[in-house]
């Protein structure tokens, strides 16, 4: 027979100031949806049980610190420092990450309100990590090729002559990730290629080129 293990007692926090402090946070006009739901939940729990669990209290105290006078002053200073460059970077990264599984919390807030200004730490985490920095740098690099230009499309070790049909957006943070729509000479369909898959066409490359039919002039 195994001896029954004693349950760890639940630590309760009893403080008659808690309901008033909860109401103060609920009325500050800055808390988000999750914080509002959490505060309403623990307020109802306190009314029923006259206490919070230690975990609930820890989260509550952390919220109070997040919205104390010092934190609010820092947040106001950050919002006053918000400018066109930060806004542009933020919008670019939100559009980029909205197509990925990353930073879903921030993306969700942005999708509900495109004018949402992130906190300083949120902005730095999302826009200043090494991948985002490379992506933003790529956005400032002009397209290497122009519409109508002859290029060589490198595909599976072969080379195909093509013309640029459309210049697209930057796909990701890697070098040469701009998207192009191309039409291979002799082919009927439009292909999608990355800039790093294309080369400038030179007549000396003709011997390497794959031909679709004998009527092609190259």
Mean pLDDT of 136-156: 95
pLDDT for 177 equals 96
What is the distance, to the nearest Å, from the Cα of residue 135 to the centroid of all Cα atoms in its chain?
Answer: 11
Cβ distance 39 to 22 under 8 Å? Answer: yes
Phi and psi (nearest 5°) for 62? -65, -40
| pLDDT tens track for 167-217 | 999 999 999 999 999 999 988 899 999 999 999 999 988 888 876 554 445
Give the SS3 label for residue 37.
Answer: helix
Q: Report d(CA 84, CA 178) in Å as an integer.
A: 24
pTM over 0.85: no
For the stretch 1-18, pLDDT in tens is: 555 565 666 778 889 999
Place 46 in a pLDDT band, splitting at 50, 70 and 90.
very high
Domains of the chain, by residue range, sit at: 12-67, 82-139, 150-210
- Structure-block tokens of residue 149: 């230009």
Q: Residue 54 corresponds to which tokens in the numbers above?
A: 């230690």
> 209: which strand partners?
159
- Among the residue ranges 18-27, 69-78, 85-94, 191-200, the one predicted with the least confidence is 69-78
> Whose structure tokens read 């919008």?
91
Classify strands 158-170 and 209-210 as parallel, antiparallel or unpaired. parallel
φ, ψ at 185 (rounded to 5°)? -60, 125
The model's confidence at residue 163, banded by pLDDT at 50, 70 and 90, is: very high
CATH topology assigned to domain 150-210: SH3 type barrels. (2.30.30)
């Amino acid at each position: 027979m195994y001896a029954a293990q004693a349950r760890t007692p639940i630590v309760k926090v009893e403080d008659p100031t808690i309901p008033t402090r909860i109401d103060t946070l609920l009325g500050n006009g800055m808390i988000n949806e999750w914080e509002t739901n959490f505060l309403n939940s623990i307020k109802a729990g306190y009314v029923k049980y006259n206490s919070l669990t230690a975990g609930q209290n820890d989260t509550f105290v952390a919220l109070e610190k997040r919205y104390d006078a010092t934190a609010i002053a820092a947040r106001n200073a950050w919002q006053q420092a918000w400018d066109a460059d930060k806004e542009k970077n933020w919008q670019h990264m939100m559009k980029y990450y909205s197509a990925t599984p990353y930073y879903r919390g921030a993306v969700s807030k942005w999708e509900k309100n495109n004018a949402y200004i992130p906190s300083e730490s949120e902005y730095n985490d999302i826009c200043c990590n090494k991948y985002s920095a490379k992506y933003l740098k790529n956005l400032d690099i002009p397209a290497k090729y122009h519409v109508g230009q002859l290029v060589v499309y490198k595909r599976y070790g072969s080379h195909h002559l093509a013309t640029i049909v459309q210049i697209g957006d930057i796909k990701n943070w890697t070098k040469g990730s701009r998207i192009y729509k191309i039409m291979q000479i002799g082919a009927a369909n439009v292909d999608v290629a990355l800039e790093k898959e294309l080369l400038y066409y030179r007549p000396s490359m003709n011997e390497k080129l794959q031909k679709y039919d004998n009527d092609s002039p190259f």
